[in-house]
A and B are shown apart, each in its own frame.
Chain A
Amino acid sequence: MPDAVIGLEIHLAVRTRSKMFCSCDATGFGDAPNQHVCPVCMGLAGALPVANREAIDRTLRFALALDCTVPQRTQFHRKHYVYPDAPKNYQISQYDQPLGEHGALALPGGRRIGITRVHLEEDAGRLVHPPYADHSLLDLNRAGAPLMEMVTEPDLRTPEEARAFLAEVRAVARAVGASDASPEEGKMRADVNVSLRRPDGSFGTKVEVKNVNSFRSVEAALHHEIQRQTRLLEDGFEVVQETRGWNEGGQKTVPQRSKEAAADYRYMPDPDLPAIDLPVAHVDALRAAMPELPAAKRARYAALGLEPDAAAQFAADVHASAVFDATCAAFDGPPTTVANWLASEVAGRLRARETTLEAVAPDPAAFAARLADLLALVHDRTISATAGKEILDAVLDGADPARVVDERGLARVADEGALRALVETVMAEHPDVVASAKVEPKAVNALLGRVMKASGGAADAQVVRRLLEAALADDA
């Protein structure tokens, strides 16, 4: 397969309460259509936009996290196009003074991908197309919501790399609080540019695939597009420069009708919006308050001995890493124990409940304190690991572990006298298992399991094993 040259244009909804240029609620995308509108975001004559300070600061944080150069002054431009999702017949966007330029973001493997620019603009309305109707339907709740656009250099080489890059962008956007970056909510959308490198090294004709709305679709669309272009060139055809769309059902790219015959956006400085100074002191303060970024977190977790997968998983998720860090701080045992419990036991229960850590543990510190208590009980052998797993559900629901242990009588029984009685009872009840255990030493595990069950998980398994082995030897 020939070398592919891939660039991405990524749109991310900025995490603010109000819209970009008016005070309408920017969080009500799912509410009744046209619920959150005003003269500004409806484009009514005479309405004046005023820019949202928080949207600018969050976009600046994102740009700084991507190692961008930030200007000392920025401004907004009008980008003109006529389409029903744009009430003013232009979109307020940025042109030659974006909030960030000349940045880079490293893939988890270390290769740096150039970031051409990061700018801030307003989102369009949402169009719905009822089947076979002669009209479309418009909802302006999203119109005017703040939207960041980041453009990469054509530095990506494979579909897998593009997907990994998107995951890293999402992790960075969430880490700095710039965006929820959730493709499933439409808060992260990508356009993909791809061409094949010619044998002489020059870039081939570029094709753009628009509105690919999941990481998996980006990877699939690139695979399909690379294959399509390869076949065209092998068969002696040329690749036509065009915009295509991704057909999710057919898993293929298809030619798209263009919005306007020839894009002629007639950018002009928006006369309604004064230029905005970005004082060096302000930008420095944002830089100083920058949280730890996913790459640094991954390195720190790897140094703690975490497996690469677990390190990547926690580093990509602000909430999971907050829980992990706080639990490690409160727990006097190895961080790998915390990681194992979070990645298998906790994650498994969340999956079974079809919920998220954020929903179950909105306050990471409070949950971490309870989890650390639970791990300490297991670690200092107050309760068995089996008992620990048994009460995890209650701990997820907010219970204090020590109290659950008391209530359910789960404290580990290591007293030999009590356990010996239990061992004798179980052996008397299962003479067949005893018989096979005398021939096949591994069968002792079957007896061990029955004793543990009889004790409600509270028995000290090591003591039980020793007692069982001694009893079997005496009996022989």
Chain B
Amino acid sequence: MTDAELDHLAELARLQLEDDERDALRADLERVLTHFETMQAVDVEGLEPMLRPVHVDDPLRDDVVRPGLDPEAARALARARDGDFLRVPRTAADDG
């Protein structure tokens, strides 16, 4: 696994890797990848992928509104708030 691949994965996972963590993590990931390579070698030509062990008939719900969380309790879960809004990192330029 290249440095660039490791950086990309870390970025996707929002992980900030310290230099001394990189080699251990790279070794772990390579073992995972090797395991998948082993499985990739199996011939599955003509077989439908089994995404779930059991099939559920009609796994849907009717379109009925039910009360959710108490709004104040829900807002209180946020790390930061601003009135009824939840406060999150800035995502837009200061263009109003």
Contact = CB atoms under 8 A, between A and B. Distances in A.
Same complex: yes
Interface of A: 16-18, 22-26, 32-39, 41-42, 44, 50-56, 75, 80, 82-85, 127-129, 131-140, 257, 261-262, 264, 266, 269, 271, 273-277
A33 B84 contact: yes
A135 B90 contact: yes
B47 interface: no
A129 B91 contact: yes
Nearest to A130: B82
Contacts of A33: 83-86
B62 A53 contact: yes
B61 to A, nearest CB: 5
A37 B72 CA distance: 10
| Interface residues on chain B, size class | 35 or more
Contact of A51 (B12, B51, B61, B65): B61
A274 B55 contact: yes
B82 to A, nearest CB: 6
6 contacts: A17-B63, A18-B64, A24-B65, A26-B65, A138-B87, A264-B8
B41 interface: no
A86 B48 CA distance: 32
A34 to B, nearest CB: 5
A192 B64 CA distance: 35
A135 B88 CA distance: 6
B52 A139 contact: no
A23 B92 contact: no
Contact of A55 (B52, B55, B63, B84): B63
B77 interface: yes
B46 interface: no
B71 A34 contact: yes
Contacts of B14: 82
Given A42-B69, A136-B87, 20 more contacts: A18-B64, A24-B65, A33-B84, A34-B71, A36-B68, A37-B69, A38-B68, A38-B74, A42-B74, A50-B59, A52-B60, A83-B91, A84-B88, A127-B88, A127-B92, A135-B80, A138-B85, A257-B93, A266-B12, A274-B59
Contacts of A16: 63
B55 A23 contact: no
Contacts of B69: 37-39, 42
Looking at chain A's contact residues, the main secondary structure is loop
B88 A51 contact: no
A134 B85 CA distance: 15
Nearest to A16: B63
B51 to A, nearest CB: 5
Contacts of B55: 274-275
Contacts of A276: 59-60
A261 B90 CA distance: 17
Contact of B63 (A54, A127, A132, A135): A54
A159 to B, nearest CB: 25
A145 B68 CA distance: 14
B89 A136 contact: yes
Nearest to B82: A137
A201 B94 CA distance: 42
Nearest to B96: A131
Name the residue in B63, B87, B89 with the highest tally of chain A Cβ atoms < 10 Å from its Cβ.
B63
B63 A53 contact: yes
A138 B88 contact: yes
B56 interface: yes
B11 interface: yes
A357 B83 CA distance: 38
Contact of B51 (A17, A23, A275): A275
A37 B63 contact: no
Contacts of B88: 84, 127, 135-138
B86 A34 contact: yes
A34 B12 contact: no
A317 B69 CA distance: 38
A136 B94 contact: no
A34 B72 CA distance: 9
Contacts of B77: 42, 44
A23 B64 CA distance: 6
Name the residue in B58, B77, B82 with the highest tally of chain A Cβ atoms < 10 Å from its Cβ.
B82
Contact of B65 (A25, A44, A131): A25
Contacts of A84: 88-89, 91
In the A-B complex, list the 10 residue pairs whose CB atoms are closest, starting with the nearest. A38-B68, A54-B63, A84-B88, A137-B85, A23-B66, A274-B56, A53-B60, A33-B84, A274-B59, A129-B92
B57 interface: yes
Contacts of A24: 65-66, 68
Given A131-B94, A135-B87, A140-B86, A275 B61 contact: no
B62 A137 contact: no
B62 A54 contact: yes
Contacts of A38: 68-69, 74
Nearest to A265: B12
Contacts of B91: 83-85, 127, 129, 136
Contact of A139 (B60, B80, B85, B94): B85
A84 B78 CA distance: 12
